[in-house]
Structure 1
Amino acid sequence: MPEHNVMSWTAIISGYSQRVGKEEEAIKLFVKMVQHGKVKPNQFTYSSILKACASLSNPVMGEQVHAHVVKAGLSLVTHVGNSCVSMYSRSGRMDDARKVFDYLYERNLISWNTILDGYARNSDTQEAFTFFEHIESMGIEPTDFTFSSLLSAAASLGTMGKGVET
């Protein structure tokens, strides 16, 4: 059987990362890939494994993957950074999520929605609305996801009046 290349490793890791209940398998396979040493993970591998870490709220593994990302020189790649922001925010580590967000060279709507949703998930309604104001001031068109995150933040504190205003 031929040796795996980065695409085959990543495809399998990504598949496991996207299936509920299979995230641990993704992590095991990633560890095996790194230990194998013949194939280096790429930006898509890292995004996939960070998704698994986020789904499991596994900040220890996520932090180790983030260190690999930095070492590989991929920390400025927007979708990898977005995955790091998501992983940290889903683990309740908003200070780390914010550091990664602030470090991003280029931010897209997904970047803004991810950090806003992180603050909403972690019951920091004020910060979520502050990020929404940044989105609006930059002329970025909010999405249904943006509004859903804001309404979730407002509902968590019983401030639905604020949510209706947006």
Structure 2
Amino acid sequence: MSEIVKDPVCRMEVAATSFATEYAGIAYAFCSAQCKERFLANPQLYIGFPGHKAPAQKGREVVKQRRLLLSLPLDAMQAEQVKHALLEMMGIRKVCIEGDKLEIQYDLMQVTTEQIAGKLASIGADLGGGWMDRLKLAFINYLEETEMSSLEVENKKGCH
């Protein structure tokens, strides 16, 4: 039987071999590729240093609410399928779809808009494709990356 460990991103118990990776000489396991991707993007959000807990270890949440435009309006059945697929992702709290408008609430510590857009694309429900929509999405992704980077704990050893 495989050893059980905690996913550092969502805190679920998982097999030590599940989506396993090594960081700084320590083995980590994850419930999904999504959690592994979040960890590898900003590991110091989830693991700290001796005497310095990471934001995730302190129970930190970064709740975001976004209104996104889909490339095409969805009928009721399509909207329900998209909603179900998004709610399966870690960190998604609320999804509301009306036509081509998607309102979503999520914890940025567990999922990014970029990952949400990827999930939508994988099920055939792309976000708006105009240049203004792409620019808006790129700006949101940049803001999220910057916010997450600023929350990472730093190893205070050294001269700085």
TM-score over 0.5 for the pair: no
Give the TM-score, by structure 2 length: 0.28
Hey, which of these two has a bigger chunk of strand by percent? 2
Give the TM-score, by structure 1 length: 0.27
Higher relative contact order (CA 8 A, sep 6+): 2
Hey, which of these two has a bigger chunk of helix by percent? 1
